[in-house]
Amino acid sequence: MTTQTMITQEAPTMLETQNTPTAHDAHAGQAATHVAVAQEDDDTPSLQPAGPDFPDFGDGGGGHHTCDWEESMCDDTATHYTHCLCGDPECESDHIQYYCDRHYALKLALKLQHLRECEAYEHDEPCEANRVVTLAHIDAFGPVAI
């Protein structure tokens, strides 16, 4: 809703100019000013919201990911990925992590080292139970398709 104010000024009448101003009539001989206020319905907002003016830190806006290395800050472009399966049916994460060349090699080496010592393996020989444990750690890896 907007409010418009109109101010109009009228010229003094002949009677007002002939009378001598008195203490009771201080505005004699002056133009009369009238103020009219009218309200109109206006559905357009007076201020338009501005878009965000900060950069997209997620993937740079171009579909490329930055390195997800957890040990330190790395802002290199990711060239490889790792993926693991999740046993939680309500989990909304995609469980994909993206790494630059250097951190991808380190991540795979750390995963292999962990898999040799992982206590979740129940059998010494390959079996379905051990396969599920391995897939929970890593089920896919490789270069990012560009």
DSSP string, 27-96: TTTS-EEEEEEEEE---S-SSPPPPP-S--TTTTTTTPPBP--SSS---SBP-EEEE---S-TT-----E
Domain containing 114 equals: 80-143
Q: Point out the least confidently predicted range of 23-27, 63-67, 91-95, 98-102.
A: 23-27
Q: Would you say residue 27 lies in a domain?
A: yes
Q: Would you say residue 86 lies in a domain?
A: yes
Q: Would you say residue 138 lies in a domain?
A: yes
- Each residue's pLDDT tens digit, 11-53: 555 544 455 555 555 555 555 555 665 666 666 555 555 544 4
Q: Would you say residue 16 lies in a domain?
A: yes
**SS3 state at 145:** coil
Q: Would you say residue 130 lies in a domain?
A: yes
Token readout for 14 is 């002949």
Q: Would you say residue 119 lies in a domain?
A: yes
Q: Would you say residue 57 lies in a domain?
A: no
- Name the domain count of the chain: 2
Q: Would you say residue 62 lies in a domain?
A: no
- Each residue's pLDDT tens digit, 134-145: 888 888 899 998
